[in-house]
């Protein structure tokens, strides 16, 4: 995050990938942040592709065979939609005024597609990075250090 972006007290930080989402709140202020975990969402364990069996065939063209459905990709898209709906509800019900979103590129794009207009208006920054496997103090340091 850029040093010019200040996340106020009670600002929401969403750290997500295709399998896990951390909802953090800034219990500090814009000068002295203190990120605390509010909620964690985890996608259900997904079976390996070969265990999914045959589904609807993919796209068929005259030059290629039918493509295999990518079950993991579909599961990640579905999870991103669920995460976005949770953020939409939080903004509607809890009156969150500022949001920072950190996610890898594909997840970030999927979230962006599913966020409500109200959420989009509250986003202070989008960080194109997967931080879900980092402890909260490292996420805080990464997002609040001067760029």
Long-range Cβ contact pairs of 74-80 (< 8 A, separation 24 or more): 75/18, 75/43, 75/46, 76/18, 76/19, 76/43, 76/106, 76/107, 76/110, 77/18, 77/110, 79/18, 79/19, 79/21, 79/41, 79/43, 80/16, 80/18, 80/107, 80/110, 80/111, 80/114
62 falls within a domain: no
50 falls within a domain: no
138 falls within a domain: yes
pLDDT digits (tens, 9 = 90+) for 24-70: 999 999 889 999 999 999 998 765 555 545 555 555 555 555 556 67
CA-CA distance, 53 to 69, in Å (whole number)? 10
Number of domains in the chain: 1
CA-CA distance, 71 to 55, in Å (whole number)? 9
51 falls within a domain: no
CA-CA distance, 131 to 109, in Å (whole number)? 16
Q: How confident is the model at residue 146 (pLDDT cuts 50, 70, 90)?
A: very low
1 falls within a domain: no
80 falls within a domain: yes
pLDDT digits (tens, 9 = 90+) for 80-111: 999 999 999 999 888 899 999 999 999 999 99
Supply the range of the domain harboring residue 88. 12-44+67-144
5 falls within a domain: no
**pTM (2 d.p.):** 0.81
29 falls within a domain: yes
Burial of 111 (0-12, 13-18, 19+ CB in 10 A): buried
Looking at residue 90, which CATH number applies to its domain? 3.30.420.60
């Amino acid at each position: 995050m850029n040093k010019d972006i200040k996340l106020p007290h009670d600002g929401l930080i969403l750290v997500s990938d295709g399998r896990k989402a951390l909802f953090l709140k800034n219990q500090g202020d814009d000068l002295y942040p203190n990120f605390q975990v509010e909620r964690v969402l985890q996608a259900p364990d997904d079976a390996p592709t070969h265990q999914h069996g045959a589904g609807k065939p993919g796209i068929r063209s005259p030059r290629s065979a039918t493509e295999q459905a990518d079950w993991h990709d579909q599961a990640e898209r579905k999870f991103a939609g669920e995460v976005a709906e949770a953020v939409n509800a939080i903004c509607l019900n809890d009156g969150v005024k500022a949001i920072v979103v950190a996610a890898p590129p594909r997840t970030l794009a999927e979230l962006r597609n599913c966020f409500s207009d109200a959420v989009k208006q509250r986003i202070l920054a989008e960080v194109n990075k997967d931080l879900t496997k980092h402890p909260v103090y490292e996420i805080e340091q990464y997002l609040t250090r001067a760029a």
